[in-house]
Amino acid sequence: MKAVDRAGSLSFNFQERTSCIHSNPTWPLLKPGEQATARGRAYLFQGTLDDLWQRYVRDFESSD
């Protein structure tokens, strides 16, 4: 799974052996010289979707 704290969309595929979920970053409109930051993580994960959600919330709970 690839996760970012500024997701504009999700994409995924589910297969018998390996599945993946991607949260695709989105960026605010910026004027010249302005900056934006997105934090991301890549997970190799075995567990339930609920386990994954709990991990994501824990990892990104301090994101603004």
**Residue 44 belongs to a domain:** yes
**Residue 31 belongs to a domain:** no
Question: CA dihedral in degrees (64, 6, 57, 48; nearest 10)?
Answer: 180
The runs of H, that is alpha helices, within 1-64 are: 49-60
**Residue 30 belongs to a domain:** no
**Residue 35 belongs to a domain:** no
**Residue 15 belongs to a domain:** yes
Question: CA dihedral in degrees (22, 40, 5, 10; nearest 10)?
Answer: -10
Total of domains in the chain: 1
Residues 32 and 34: their CA atoms lie apart, in Å, by 6
Instruction: Give the position of tokens 């993580």.
Output: 41
Domain that holds residue 20: 2-25+40-60
pTM: predicted TM-score of the whole model, two decimal places = 0.56
**Residue 17 belongs to a domain:** yes
Can you tell me whether residue 31 is helix, strand or coil? coil
Give 7-42 pLDDT, tens digit per residue.
Answer: 788 888 887 777 788 888 888 899 999 998 888 888
Give 49-60 pLDDT, tens digit per residue.
Answer: 899 889 888 988
